[in-house]
Amino acid sequence: MKIIAVKCVLVSAPYANKGDAEREICLKTGYRPTAFLKVETDEGIYGLGETYAGTYAPEAVRGIAEQMEHDLIGQNPMSVLEMSDRMRVANYYLGRMGLTQCVIGGIEMALWDLKGKALGVPVYELLGGKVHNEIRAYASGGNNKPIDELKQEMRDYVTQGFRAVKIRINLLPDIDAIEEKVAVCREALGPDIGLAVDAAQGLAKYPWSVKQAIEIAKRIEKYNLLWMEEPAEVTNYEGFAEIRRHVNIPVAGGETVTSLVEAESYLKANSLDLFQPDAAVIGGLSVFRQVAQMCERKSIPIAVHAWCGGVGIMGNFQAAFASRNCTILELSNVPNPLRVEMMVEPLKMVNGCIQVPSTPGLGVHWPEGLEEKYPYMPGSVYRVPLTVS
């Protein structure tokens, strides 16, 4: 079997509901782009991958993928790690971290999918085998909105069977507004549903100082929170560690990591109680597994970040089911047709836990007519709001 093509397919699909804060602020067209990576072979078997970078810079992703194709044409797709090495060496001078690694990871994800399909096994079997039959999931949402709507959103998650929820506490005017939002959500969820908060300071034009983060954490710790995510700028590793030393809420981060070097920086600084890798960002499933093992040696659990379409979600979940220290999975409930339409079978949740998938490969496919149904719209890219957080 030989690789005959590496394609980056860009599509844009309607995202979220009108009035949703993320859509209104970051995706003013109402559409969100996605970059799928497709590796094709001379035997007709194909694999699919996805990079989260396609939401922010889809055309740049396509350009890098076109360059990568030169290094993979004619090669054996079953030799996944060799293909990763070819891409890594070819891009040594221009992309040891950042966007290039995100694209390499998307292609590597497609290679794992292809190999799993060729062998008739789920990808987690190729990553060492499953170590969970189910993993707890949390509903990821809680954007800023009127209190009545926020309360209803929380109640809906409970009705849907979730046992944990994460809300955003950024883009609020002050500490009182933050506490009010956390208090409202805790009341709506009740005492038995896990509640986590995302400060998203990696997206802030002026991130909180360590002192501010500690003050906010101390104000809201009484609400029994699962974790506080990104309470500082994401490369402020010592700042994360300082916050962690002074608060009683577990400190989480890592979703923006694109390399082992960045992951090691968090771990060397003792920055995190909970690491949040994303295979669609970090450089692929192999790097995800290496980071999970690095964390395991330090007794740090991981919580998968997954804000992609269906291919990126399944790539993350396959790696998660092969990672002993994965304790929880992120699951967005924001409407996005490219989530469910890419999955061969829908995710199955029982008692708040995602059940281990059994479909060969990642459990994804290429729906006929996808590009025609969701044509790429230039300008539909995700725009980060450059306002004071």
Q: What is the pLDDT of residue 387?
A: 57
Residue 5 CA to chain centroid, in angstroms? 26
Average pLDDT over residues 350-377: 98
Percent of the chain residues topping a pLDDT of 70? 99
Tens digits of per-residue pLDDT, 136-195?
Answer: 999 999 999 999 999 999 999 999 999 999 999 999 999 999 999 999 999 999 999 999
Average pLDDT over residues 324-329: 98
Above 50 in pLDDT, residue 388? no
SS3 198: strand
- The answer to whether the CB of 169 falls within 8 A of the CB of 155 is no
Tens digits of per-residue pLDDT, 300-316?
Answer: 999 999 999 999 999 99
Helices (H) and strands (E) in the chain, counts: 15, 13
- pLDDT category of residue 232 using cuts at 50, 70 and 90: very high
Tens digits of per-residue pLDDT, 70-101?
Answer: 999 999 999 999 999 999 999 999 899 999 99
- The answer to whether the CB of 292 falls within 8 A of the CB of 325 is yes
Closest by Cα among 158, 156, 177, 159 to 168: 177
Q: What is the pLDDT of residue 389?
A: 42
Tens digits of per-residue pLDDT, 255-296?
Answer: 999 999 999 999 999 999 999 999 999 999 999 999 999 999
Above 50 in pLDDT, residue 384? yes
Q: What is the pLDDT of residue 3?
A: 98
Average pLDDT over residues 346-372: 97
